[in-house]
Chain A
C-alpha cells in the first residue's frame, strides 16, 4: 500500500480540486439558471434530486473501493474511483498489471513495483478525454450548434436517439450471460426481475403523479424507482433467485 505523507497530500489535493470544480460549476450554472428564468425552487429541487439520485450508485462504487484498497490503500483507491474513470475501467487496468505482468492476485502481498506500475498504467490508460475535450470540444460543439440550428425538430429526435442508443446497450447487457465467482455463465433472472421491477415502479410513480398532481415526485421518480428495485433485489435474493 502507498502509505506516504506526500501521496496522501496529493490525493487530498485531487479531492479538493474535484469538489472545488464541482462547486464553482454549480454556482455559475445556478446564477445562469436564475438569469434564464428558472425559479430558485426549481434549481434547488434539481440539486437535491441529483444528489439523492447519486447516493445508491455511489455506495455501489464502495465495493470497488474495498477491492482496490487492497492494492493501493483506501485514499488512493478512492481518488481513482471518484475521478476520471469508473470501477469498470480501474479494476481491469489494475488487474492487467498485477496479474498480467507480475503474476499476482489482488489480496496477495504485492511488491511495491507492481503497485507503482499499476498506478502509472491506470493514470495513462484513460487519458484521452482529458486531452481531447480541452483541445477539440469547442470546435465540436460549434459544429453541433450549427447542425441544431439547421433543423430544430431533428435536433430533439437526435437527442432522444442518442440516449436510446445508450439505453439499448445497457438493456442488452442486463440479459447477457454472466459468470459469478468463476461459475458457468448464466442469464441472471435476478437482473431481469430487478430491471422489470424498476420499470414498473417508475410507471406507478408516473400514475401517482398524474392522479394526485404530485409535481415534486417528477424529480424523485427515478431515484425512488432505482432504490425500490434494489431493495426488491435483496428480497428476490433471499427467495433464492439469481
Chain B
C-alpha cells in the first residue's frame, strides 16, 4: 500500500516537474520571439557562467539537503515553487512539529505536502496581488519605517525555529553552531555565502550526531 502511494507520487511528480520545466523554458523563448531579440553568445555566456558557477552547485546540493527534510510529495512541489529556506522547509517543519509526527514517516510526508502546498498557494497569491498592485504598494513596501521588519525576516524566522530545535538536541548543535559563528564572523563577505554554508552545516551536524549516537551519548 505504502509503495503504491509513493510510486504514484513519484510518477505524477515527474509529470508536474517536466511540465514546469517546459513552461519555465517557454518564458524566455516567447519573450525572444515577441521582441525579436535573442541573446548573443558573447552576451549570454559571461552572464551565464558567472551565475551558473555558483548556483548550479548550490541548487544541486540543495536537492540532496532539502529532499530528505521535505519528503516525497512536497519535494516535487517545493522545488517548482521555490523559496525553500525562507518559507517551504520551515512551513513543513512547523506543521510536523505541531502534530508531533515522526519526520521522514509516511504521515510526516503527507503533512509536509499539505504545509508546502498551502504555503505555495499563499505565496503565489501574495506575489500575484503584489505584481498587479505594484504602483500603489511600492511606497508602502519601500517605506523606511517598515524596512527593519522586512530586512530581518531571517532572524525573526530562525530565532523561533532555532531555539526549539537547539533545546531539543543541544549536544548535536554545539559543533556546527560554533563553526558557523566563527565562519560568518571572521570570513569577509561571508554574508552572501549562506546558501553554500547550509549543506556544510548539514554535513557537520550529521557527522557530529553520528559520532554521538555511536558513542551512546544521544538517543
- Determine whether A106 belongs to the interface, using a CB cutoff of 8 Å to chain B: no
Contacts of B198 in A (CB 8 A): 165-166, 169-170
A213 to B87 CA separation, bound complex (whole angstroms): 28
The interface residues of chain B lying within 8 Å CB-to-CB of A173 are 154, 180, 184, 191, 194, 197
Are B115 and A100 in touch, CB under 8 angstroms?
no
CA distance A220 to B176 in the complex (A): 28
Report the separation of the CA atoms of residues A160 and B157 in the bound assembly, to the nearest whole angstrom: 17
* Closest-CB distance, B103 to chain A (whole angstroms): 4
| Interface of chain B: mostly helix, strand, loop or mixed | helix
Say yes or no: A100 contacts B10, CB within 8 Å. Answer: no
Q: Confirm or deny: A230 has a beta carbon within 8 angstroms of a beta carbon on chain B.
A: yes
Whole-angstrom CA separation of A185 from B153 in the bound complex: 19
For chain B, the count of residues having a C-beta within 8 Å of the partner chain is 157
Q: Report if A141 contacts B (CB, 8 A).
A: yes
Give complex CA distance A28, B161 in Å: 28
Which residue of chain A is the closest to B125 with respect to CB atoms?
A19
| Bound form: Cα–Cα A219–B213 in Å | 30
In contact, A165 and B206 (Cβ under 8 angstroms): yes
In Å, the complex CA distance between A225 and B137 comes to 25
B contact residues around A14 at 8 Å (CB): 23-24, 27
Query: What's the nearest-Cβ distance from chain B to residue A204, in Å?
Result: 11
Q: How large is the interface on A (under 10, 10 to 19, 20 to 34, 35 or more residues)?
A: 35 or more
Given A22-B81, A123-B27, A162-B202, also A58-B102 (CB < 8 A): no
Interface-central residue, B32, B90, B127, by most chain A CB under 10 Å: B127
Residue contact B148 to A153, C-beta cutoff 8 Å: no
Q: How far is the CA of A239 from the CA of B50 in the complex (A)?
A: 40
Q: Is the CB of B35 within 8 A of A116?
A: yes
A74 pairs with B131, CB closer than 8 A: yes
* B36 smallest CB distance to A (angstroms): 9
Please give the distance in Å from B129's CB to the nearest CB on chain A.
9
Whether A171 touches B180, Cβ cut-off 8 Å, given contacts A7-B34, A134-B14, is: yes
Say yes or no for A208: interface residue by CB 8 A criterion. Answer: no
User: For window 57-87 of chain A, which residues contact chain B by CB distance below 8 Å?
Assistant: 57-63, 65-66, 69, 74-79, 81-86
A233 touches B156 (CB 8 A): yes
Q: Are B104 and A148 in contact (CB under 8 A)?
A: yes
A221 with B160: CB separation less than 8 A: yes
- Partner pick for B30 among A6, A96, A114, A203, CB 8 A cutoff: A6
Are A47 and B118 in contact, CB atoms less than 8 angstroms apart?
A: yes
Which listed residue, B26, B90, B124, B197, touches A22 by the CB 8 Å rule? B124
In residues 13-46 of chain A, which contact B (Cβ within 8 Å)? Answer: 13-15, 17-19, 21-26, 28-30, 32-33, 36, 38, 42-43, 45-46
CB distance from A189 to the nearest CB of B (A): 11
Give the complex CA separation of A14 and B32 in angstroms: 17
Which of A7, A10, A76, A178 contacts B23 (CB under 8 A)?
Answer: A10
**How far apart are the CA atoms of A141 and B63 in the complex, in Å?**
12
Complex interface residues of chain B between 71 and 119 (CB less than 8 A to chain A):
72-77, 79-87, 89-91, 93-95, 97-99, 102-104, 106-107, 110-111, 113-119
Please indicate the chain B residues that have their CB under 8 angstroms from the CB of A162 in the complex: 65, 68-69, 202, 205-206
Contacting residues of chain B (1-57) with chain A, CB-CB under 8 angstroms? 5-6, 10, 13-14, 16-21, 23-28, 30-35, 37-40, 43-44, 46-48, 50-52, 54-56
Given A123-B28, A222-B94, 7 extra CB contacts under 8 A: A25-B117, A59-B130, A165-B65, A168-B177, A169-B180, A179-B191, A192-B155
Which 3 pairs of residues, A with B, have the shortest CB-CB distance?
Answer: A198-B159, A172-B180, A165-B202
Q: Would you give 26 A-B contacts (Cβ < 8 Å), ordered by A?
A: A2-B31, A10-B23, A21-B20, A54-B126, A57-B157, A59-B150, A63-B150, A78-B130, A82-B123, A97-B43, A130-B80, A141-B6, A144-B104, A161-B209, A164-B169, A164-B173, A164-B201, A165-B176, A167-B165, A171-B177, A191-B151, A195-B158, A218-B97, A221-B160, A222-B161, A233-B151
